[in-house]
Every structure is written in structure tokens, then in C-alpha cells.
A and B are shown apart, each in its own frame.
Chain A
Amino acid sequence: MSPRAKTALEPAKTNPELIRNFCIIAHIDHGKSTLADRMLQLTGVVDDRSMRAQYLDRMDIERERGITIKSQAVRMPWELDGQTYALNMIDTPGHVDFTYEVSRSLAACEGAVLLVDAAQGIEAQTLANLYLALENDLTIIPVLNKIDLPAAQPEKYAEELAELIGGKPEDCLKVSGKTGVGVDQLLDVIIRTVPNPVGDPNAPARAMIFDSVYDTYRGVVTYVRMVDGSLSAREKITMLSTKAVHELLEIGVSSPEPEPTKGLGVGEVGYLITGVKDVRQSKVGDTVTTSLKPATTALKGYSEPKPMVFSGIYPIDGSDYPNLREALDKLKLSDASLVYEPETSVALGFGFRCGFLGLLHLEIITERLEREFGLDLIATAPSVVYEVTLDDKKEVTVTNPSEYPVGKISKVLEPIVRATILSPKDYVGTIMELCQSRRGNMLDMQYFGTDRVQLRYDMPLAEIVFDFFDNLKSRTQGYASLDYEENGLSEGDLVKVDILLQGEQVDAFSAIVHREKAYAYGVMMTSKLRELIPRQQFEVPIQAAVGARIIARETIRAMRKDVLAKCYGGDISRKRKLLEKQKEGKKRMKMVGRVEVPQEAFIAALSSDTEKKGEKKGK
């Protein structure tokens, strides 16, 4: 298909009335990036030859996992009724950990395509993202996707969608991101219904930073949405919050490759390059203005996302510590939500306590550290932040279980989230059971259509971090979806369980758990470690303790034989090489007192797989 618009409108000179800014929002995997692909092709900004699936998912990790992590904005031309328009489309991530990416994308738009997989229907993040879009006063365009699937039920879900946002089921567009069906009509509808941006072209320039990314070649690339006035190349700009002044080395639009322009005008979306090397100097949510004629009032920004989950990250080879620091510093350049500070573990040596937005974020960061920086890492079990008040009124914030204060504790507050679970109604029973076992407090239950139910719970974040999602998925054959948001702190009856090897506490295995779950955790960890730690020349007791009280115990029996029976003339070279190999292997051992613990044992004991097993045992 050849694109309709022959010549695109020139950036910086585009009449705001001919601009439409929209994002695509949906539950994870409902097809946002695939729909974006069709738009890129249809508008001609990516030719068929260069096209590849999920074109905008550029990071290796995005491509491998088939998910979007970073929002991407693209300017595309489109013609309707003989008039050429400029569309700015933002493809957003669907996973709950990256909700903050969605919120900032929304702030750059007037409209949102709410995409729903016609074979799946409305899910938790559909609701969460719709809610955010309405908060931002965006015009919502409901669209059913994947109508090519035999299992698609567009009529049914059109009704549910109409019920949800008001309107008629027939207004709901039906498309297939895979075949391209309906995508051209969708672009037409976007032009017709999404309001054009409005701003004062003569006012002092104000541009909202909605993303800031570090690029090895170009330095920090700042993505902005112009609200008032204009910016042009080579002029000096000021960051309103810090008053820092930078020179604009380059200004442009992504289409989807960066295209330098003369500038950006009201309503336009594009990027700025200033030579800044650190994203923190170009903060998301900040307002950019010109130094010559600066604006005085900042645009409403957004609060930076707070890390919700913490984990200790350690290099397996202790000498990699400086490399790990450097790698974290580099990742931080493009991911301001990553926080970390040095910590030491008796068992694991030097590492960093890192804060993440969620488990997926943790997983992705560790994977990037390993892959992009060639590090071998151990991550300790994820933990949340506890606010502990001692009897003497002193308050301590605990992000690392091993730092949990000993002694008189008068109160522990733990983070609570409000969880929204959507599922076919058949699974309500099992979901309620799960949530109850996770200390959930049910708020309400609501039907969508005839067979889908929404359950809302207040639940400790720690319970969600502890493998909740996998459990939910397996109990509901994958049908349930989950969304959650912070909802304050609440007092919990919590204790710290320590794990001791031959009487020595292994800090990496300490966990803060609800009093009633301490025993299950203790039994799970001790029996797991008994399997994972090889026998030593002496007996090794493994204990789980709450304070001084031992709640579970296992024993690794002493190894009785470690000798090769035969050693003939011909065996000598081989035997020496074997010794050398064992010596190498020992580098991967961590000493806990006199006990040699292989790194693999730490990794396996700390992996979530263990938690799952432990849970089964605990019941």
C-alpha cells in the first residue's frame, strides 16, 4: 500500500490544528507494538523492506522477551479529505512495572487508542491505563484488535467496552495489527476525534520532558512535547527546575529515525540533544524553556516513580565489583528509576542494594547488567521497604532484611498496594483463596459483562513480590490479570527469619515475613539448602531462627569419602588437571565460616522457583 500523504508537514512550521498527538495503551501483549508497526508502514515512514515485527521495540531485551519496556514516540504523516496532518504516535509498555512510562506518555497527548485483544477482552491493565488516560482528560478511542483470530469475540467485547467508557458498541473500531485490517480507518478516526493541541505560539517557550534516554553516541536524548512557544536549533535552553542552561546541539523529530529539524512549534513532539551526559540533568517532568525569553511557570510535572522492590546485587567474582558499579552508573543514565547504594554481605561480599519498580524491572536490570556488561551476578531475594519504630521511638527504614533491627520493636509498617484482579468468574473462588492466604483485604467485586469479574484487594506489597503473579496465573490457567498501585503503609505482625549455617548467620538468606509464615519459610529454606550445599568434611547444621528461637533445622551429613582410588602412572597428568579444575571451581565458592557454599547454591536458593516450591510445602 502506498502512503496517502505525499509530503509530510515540516516540523516547526506545522499549524497545531493539523497535529494529532495520541498514544496506544492496552494490557500487556494486546498488540500495541504490532498495531504501531502497521501505522509505520501505512504512513510510509518505514518501508516494507526495513519493516520487522515490533519495529519500535529496539532493545535486545525487548525483542527477546517480546515486550515493550520503553515508550517510543513517532511522527507520521497522514492525509484525510485532501489535507495532510502530522500524527505523533506513542507506543507504550503494557506491563504493570512500567506504568510510569505510560503516565508520562499520556501527558504528551490529547488522545489515546485503547486497544483490547478481541480474544481476551478487558484486563487489569486495560482498566488501569484507561483510568490514567481519563485522569489526563484524553479522548479515548476504543479499538478491538486481533480480529483475525478465530477465537476473537469482537461483538461481545465491543459491548463490554461501550459499557465501560460510555458510547455505542458499534463505535468501537475493529482492527487487526497483524493483517492491517481497519488500521487506515483508525488513523482517519484519530484525526477526526482527537482534539488538536492548543498553546500560545507567542508565549515564552514551554516544553514538557516526557522521556530522557542515554545514548552512547549522542549523549542524553530528551523527548519533549511543546506546549507554548517554540524552540529552535542552536539556541540556549533552560531547565526550569534547576535553571541549568544548555546549548541545543540538535533538535528534531523521530520518524522513527531521528530527523534533525529547524525547531519545534506548539503541540509538536520531538527530541533535544544538548551534550548533557547524565539523564538526571534532563529530568523527566521538568519544563524546558529558552534562556533568552524564559517562561516563569513550570508545566505540571509528574512525580518520579518510587522504587517498590529492593534486592542486593553482587558480582559472583568479587573482583568485578568496580565493573558492577560502572555498569549501574551507565544504566542509571537512561533509567532514572533505578536506585542503588553500596552494601556488603558477609556471605556475598561487596555489592549494591538496588531499588526497582517491580519484579520485571529487577529481572530486566539484572539481565542487562549481565548481558551488556558481561557480569555474573547474584541477586538476593526481593524485599520491600519497612518502616520500623523501636521501643525508644527511634525509626529505621529497612530495605535489606539483614538490617532489620534486633531488640525492642514497637511497630513495623509495610507498604500496601491496591490490587485489581480481572478474571473469568469461574476462578473467583481460587483467587479469593490466594488473596486471603496473602493477607489480602477484599474491597469489592464487580462484574464486567456476564462472565468477567473484577476483584479489588488491599494487600501487602511483600506478598505480591513473593511470587504472587505466577501463582495467580497458574491458578487461573493464565486468564487472570493483575494491576496494582501503591496504597500507603500498614502495620504488620512481621518477624525476621535468619538462616544459620553451622551457627553462622547467612545474611543473604534472611527474610522478613509475616509471623504465621515464618515456619514455612524456615522449613523451605533449610531443606532447599540441604539439597544445594555439597557435603563438607564435617557435619553442617542448617537452622532457621526467629531471634534466638530455632524454628527449623536440617543437617548436611559429613562427607566421608573424597579420594580417587586409583592413581597409576598414566593417571597422574589427568589427576593434576582435575585438581586444577577443582581449584577453579573453588573460586565460585563463598565461605560461610568454614562452610564452602557454591555460588550456584546461592543463586538457586534465592531464585523465585524456590519460593514456589516452598509455598507448596508450607501448605
Chain B
Amino acid sequence: MAQLPKGEPAPSDGRITKLFDSAQHSFHAYVHIPYCLTRCGYCDFNTYTASELANHRRDEYFEYVLKEISFSREVLAASEVIARPISTVFFGGGTPTLLAADDLIQILQGLRSTFGISPEAEITTEANPDSVDESYLEKLFEAGFNRISFGMQSAVPEVLKVLERTHNPENVEKNVAIAKRIGFQTSVDLIYGTPGESLADWKKSLQVATSLETDHISAYSLIVEPGTKLNRQIESGQISPPDEDLHAQMYEMVEQVLVEAGFRNYEVSNWARGVDSRSKHNMAYWQSQDWWGYGPGAHSHIAGNRFWNVKHPAAYAERISQAISPALERELVDSDNRVVEKVMLELRLVDGVDVQWLRSQGLAGPKIVAELIADELIEGASAISGRMTLTPKGRLLADAVIRKVLEF
């Protein structure tokens, strides 16, 4: 399972060392639900199947999260971080929809009563196409949820099989339609470059996905994460490793198909029909706003502090019941590293980074910018008018561009 990063021990009272005043930043909440029916072969998220969690009561999980919510309020106050109403809420996992709709709603109410939620807030939950139905979705909508992100991954049964996705592809269509009818904004997640997946398979998935007429689509190239079953299968030669050149071709295909279907790319792996249908929650991550991540293994970022909770649900529950901060470690991001992070995150966005700002940081000298333009990695016209933005080719080589800009 994905390793947590390496940081310094977090203070046991959870106290935040304010590196700067983030009052101007918006405030967001992420809620992690660490449960899945089965574990997909490629997945290294912090999630557990029932059999992996003996003596664990999923139905009590929301109570721990509620406790962490009130704890977070105290920590922010004690750390003199100005409280702001929440701008977006995102329930992720894991499979949040494995919990009863009421559990999710209780958590949302907890956030609302503790911090307040802006009226126009985006409130999303991830959903497994199999684990929701009409009444479930209606309940969520009534409680204020307004966006659903379905884990579709692929429309091709053979590909889903390699990914070990157990959901019934037909449920994607069915539930997206229901969600739309109820009034949700909708999104689907896709994965491409699965071993054995052909360009034709990928085209098929894209066609099905666009036919759903969601507001938003995320498409990720398959990452073979260390420690996953998929990784073992590749190492033992059972499954051939993904081909990066094919990934590139598939990426070009998403861009083409989605643009034709009326989507616009706004982050390397994300496309939306309009500016309003972008994932505001994810944008908050990429623009280094403040957020608190609730639940085991969840990451938070507040006033230059990055901290993350203990990983295991049992360890998390233990700390919460003893009123000890669930944060395991933290990292105080100094101003140099904040620059690094900003470039690393914002260059991936459609609006890119301000060239003057880069200059003011001693980065992106004329020679570097000219070279990036010549290599067709950034848009020349946009650079001339003051923004460094990636070309489609540059998006595929974003990490190389980032290293070059940072002179890494």
C-alpha cells in the first residue's frame, strides 16, 4: 500500500506552526472512507476489505470522523488559524458509498455545524457504480451533495478484468443517468494503458464515456504502484508492463476525442465541459489552498503545514478515542519549497504559471523559456503574453518541463 511520505513527527496536540497567514486562502475538507469490497489489482490506496479489518465496526466510522472534525476546529483555533466556511467537500476512498448514505450525511452535517459550508460549495463523493442506487443518491442530494465521481475506469470487459474491477459496466450508464436526473454534476474516472488494452479498446471506452454526457472526465494512465498485485504480476512476467509510448498515443487520443465531445483539458489528467464544471476541490489542492483531510492516512495542508494521519483505521480510531491528534508526521514547507510546489502543481494547469512571477523567483530565464518554446513544450504566444502554459506535447512531458523550469 502506498507509503506515507517521510516527515518529522507531528506534535501530539496537532498544533499547527503557522508559516504565513493563510486567511486569504479558501478552506476545504477531504473525508477519507477506507473501505472497499475487494481490492483492485492496481490500487495502492489506503483502503481495506472487510476481511482485512477484523473486529472493526464500519458503522461506527462516522463517529470517529465527527470527533476529528471537532478536534480540527480546536486545533485551528489554538493555532490561531482563522476559521473560514468550507468551500468544497470531497468524500474519497476507498469507496465512500460503502457506508450508509446517512453516515456520509452525518459527517457532512458535522462539517457544516462546525465550520459552516459556503452556499455555492461543491460537495462531491466518489462512487462505485455498483454501490449506489436511486434512493441512495437522492438522499445524498437532499443533504447537500451536488457532485458524483464514478469509478468507471473502462468500458471494455477484458480491460476491467485485468484491472480486477468487479463492477458491472452497465451500472455506470444507469447510475450516471440517475445522478444527472437528480441534479448532480457528474464525472467519470478512466484508466488507460492497462496491459493488453489496445488503442481500439481505449477508443471504445472514450466513446462510451462521452456518450454519458457527464460534466467532467478524469483520465489517468495506469501507474504500476510498488507493492500492488499488478506490480507482482508484471515482475513475475505474468502480465507485460505498460508501454509508455502507447500511453502517449492514448493520451493524444483522449485529448482529441474529448475536445471533439466539447470538453477542455484544465489539468494534465482532467477535462471539463466548462470552467464551472472543473473539480473545484482538486483545484484547491493544485492551487495550494488550505484543507483538512479527515480519516486514516488523510493529508492536510494548512498555512504551510503538510501533515498526514496515521494510516491504519484501527490506529486512527485508537488515537481519536484517546483524544490524541491522529496526525503522524508533518512537513513544514519553507518558502523555497513552496515555490517548488507551486511550479510543480500549477504548471500542470491550463492557465499555467505567470512568467513574471517565475522571473521574480530567479527561474525561467529567457534561454530556458526559448528552448521550451522551440521544443514545443510550452505555448509560445502565451509565454510572450506572460503565462507559461503547456502544449499538449508538453503535458505529456510535464515533469521534464517542471524540472527544467526549476533547474533541477
Contacts and interface: CB of A to CB of B under 8 A. Distances in A.
Contacts of B344: 572, 575-576, 579
A563 B395 contact: yes
Given A537-B375, A572-B306, A566 B30 contact: no
A301 to B, nearest CB: 58
Give the interface size bracket for B toward A. 35 or more
Contact of A565 (B6, B269, B341): B269
B231 to A, nearest CB: 16
Interface residues of A, number: 26
Contact of B7 (A565, A568, A570, A573): A573
A564 B403 contact: no
A569 B345 contact: no
A349 B306 CA distance: 41
Contacts of A83: none
Contacts of A576: 337, 340-341, 344
A479 interface: no
A569 B301 contact: yes
Given A537-B400, A560-B248, A572 B408 contact: no
A190 to B, nearest CB: 62
Contact of A563 (B293, B340, B396): B396
Contacts of B306: 572-573
A18 B126 CA distance: 97
A408 interface: no
A572 B251 contact: no
Nearest to A578: B399
Interface in A560-610: 560-570, 572-577, 579-580, 582-583, 586
Contacts of A569: 30, 285, 291, 293, 299, 301
B397 A570 contact: no
A577 B306 CA distance: 13
B408 A579 contact: yes
A238 B176 CA distance: 100
Interface in A277-329: none
Interface in A322-378: none
Contact of B268 (A538, A563, A570): A563
Contact of A567 (B248, B286, B291, B293): B286
B223 A566 contact: yes
A306 to B, nearest CB: 48
Interface string A540-575: 000000000000000001011111111111101111
Given A563-B399, A569-B299, A572-B345, A579 B340 contact: yes
B224 to A, nearest CB: 11
Interface string B379-405: 000000000000000011111101100
B86 interface: no
A574 B400 CA distance: 17
Contacts of A564: 223, 399
A489 B375 CA distance: 52
B348 interface: yes
Given A563-B397, A572-B285, A538 B375 contact: yes
B98 to A, nearest CB: 20
B223 A565 contact: yes
Contacts of A560: 244-245, 248, 396-397
Given A560-B248, A579-B340, A565 B297 contact: no
A561 B269 contact: no
B5 interface: yes
B355 interface: no
Contact of B298 (A561, A570, A583): A570
Contact of A573 (B5, B245, B251, B348): B5
B398 A562 contact: yes
A573 B269 contact: no
A559 B397 CA distance: 8
Given A559-B397, A582-B408, A567 B348 contact: yes
A583 B408 contact: yes
A580 to B, nearest CB: 8
B220 interface: yes
B220 A566 contact: yes
Contacts of A563: 268, 348, 395-399
A561 B344 CA distance: 16
* Residue among A559, A563, A574 with the highest chain B CB neighbour number at 10 A: A563
Nearest to B92: A568
A578 B235 CA distance: 22
Nearest to B267: A567
A79 to B, nearest CB: 68
B377 interface: yes
Contact of B301 (A557, A559, A572): A572
B341 A562 contact: no
B206 to A, nearest CB: 16
B308 interface: yes
B58 interface: no
Given A537-B400, A562-B397, A570 B293 contact: yes
A146 B285 CA distance: 75
Contacts of A583: 403, 406, 408
Contacts of A557: 245
Given A537-B400, A560-B396, A582-B403, A577 B5 contact: yes
A573 B331 contact: yes
A266 to B, nearest CB: 71
B166 interface: no
B308 A572 contact: no
Contacts of A570: 293, 297-299, 308
Contacts of B5: 573-574, 577
Nearest to A594: B371
B301 A577 contact: no
Given A562-B400, A572-B299, A575-B344, 11 more contacts: A559-B400, A561-B245, A561-B248, A561-B251, A565-B268, A567-B268, A572-B344, A573-B306, A573-B331, A582-B399, A583-B408
Q: Which 9 A/B pairs are nearest by Cβ-Cβ distance?
A: A560-B248, A583-B408, A570-B299, A565-B220, A573-B5, A563-B398, A569-B285, A561-B248, A562-B400
Interface of A: 537-538, 557, 559-570, 572-577, 579-580, 582-583, 586
23 contacts: A538-B375, A557-B245, A560-B244, A560-B396, A561-B247, A562-B397, A563-B268, A564-B223, A564-B399, A565-B221, A565-B268, A567-B285, A567-B348, A569-B285, A569-B301, A570-B293, A570-B297, A573-B306, A574-B5, A577-B6, A579-B344, A579-B406, A579-B408
